[in-house]
A and B are shown apart, each in its own frame.
Chain A
Amino acid sequence: EDQVTQSPEALRLQEGESSSLNCSYTVSGLRGLFWYRQDPGKGPEFLFTLYSAGEEKEKERLKATLTKKESFLHITAPKPEDSATYLCAVDTSGTYKYIFGTGTRLKVLA
């Protein structure tokens, strides 16, 4: 069965304290892995798409990487405005739906 697991469930960082969020997946065939940011009461906001192992994408303080088993979202020198829930989703061969993890709730303290 296709499965996506995110860790940690929650993470508290001091402003400027870099860290990484993990998304591990078990799928029959990966067509794409997606990272989203979700603020309270809002819909998921698209961040990155990764298609193949070894691929990396960057945007401001965020960098996403992909291997054959997992993806990491690296946050460098985070700011309080980076506080949100970060969701990982996979799109697998033969389906059209995303399978989401349960997310990592990130809190960055000033």
Chain B
Amino acid sequence: GAGVSQTPSNKVTEKGKYVELRCDPISGHTALYWYRQSLGQGPEFLIYFQGTGAADDSGLPNDRFFAVRPEGSVSTLKIQRTERGDSAVYLCASSGLGSGDTQYFGPGTRLTVL
């Protein structure tokens, strides 16, 4: 079956621009997560959705970051006024139930801010 997909695979943008990163979870999975991974580090949690609502957004670094999941399936991570420090790989994961359930990751979007 199809896994988690993310688009684009690579995104290069200029400082100050707005970007959107898309995640399509495994069909039927109600829980969706966004993580950010810097070089040589493990993924760091950004936000968790259960259905359409953001159940935990405590990992978003500041108010330039926002994510939506309007129909409980596809999610979009939005970054306003990008900064060079936002450069990283943004990973999306989904799981069937949420807490305690295995999270399955997508291939990631590599964001480079020039």
Cβ–Cβ < 8 Å partners of B43 in chain A: 44, 87, 89, 98, 100
Q: Which listed residue (A32, A49, A89) contacts B42, Cβ 8 A?
A: A89
A44 touches B105 (CB 8 A): yes
Asked, given contacts A36-B105, A46-B104, A96-B55, whether A102 binds B45 with beta carbons under 8 Å apart, the answer is: no
Rounded to whole angstroms, the CA-CA distance of A102 and B55 in the bound complex is 26
Asked, given contacts A36-B105, A43-B105, A91-B100, whether A97 binds B33 with beta carbons under 8 Å apart, the answer is: yes
Q: Which listed residue (A43, A45, A96, A100) contacts B44, Cβ 8 A?
A: A100
Rounded to whole angstroms, the CA-CA distance of A99 and B106 in the bound complex is 17
Rounded to whole Å, the gap between the CB of B100 and the closest CB of chain A is 5
Task: Please tell me the size bucket of the interface on A.
Answer: 20 to 34
Cβ–Cβ < 8 Å partners of A98 in chain B: 33, 35, 43, 45, 103
> Please, which residue of chain B has its CB at the minimum distance from the CB of A45?
B105
Rounded to whole Å, the gap between the CB of A43 and the closest CB of chain B is 4
A97 touches B42 (CB 8 A): no
Q: Which listed residue (B35, B45, B56, B99) contacts A31, Cβ 8 A?
A: B99
Rounded to whole angstroms, the CA-CA distance of A99 and B91 in the bound complex is 14
Rounded to whole angstroms, the CA-CA distance of A96 and B91 in the bound complex is 16
A96 touches B98 (CB 8 A): yes
Rounded to whole Å, the gap between the CB of B50 and the closest CB of chain A is 8
Q: List 25 A-B contacts (CB under 8 A).
A: A32-B100, A32-B102, A34-B102, A43-B4, A43-B91, A43-B106, A44-B105, A46-B103, A49-B102, A51-B100, A87-B42, A87-B43, A89-B43, A91-B99, A91-B100, A95-B99, A96-B50, A96-B56, A98-B33, A98-B43, A98-B103, A100-B43, A100-B44, A101-B42, A102-B42
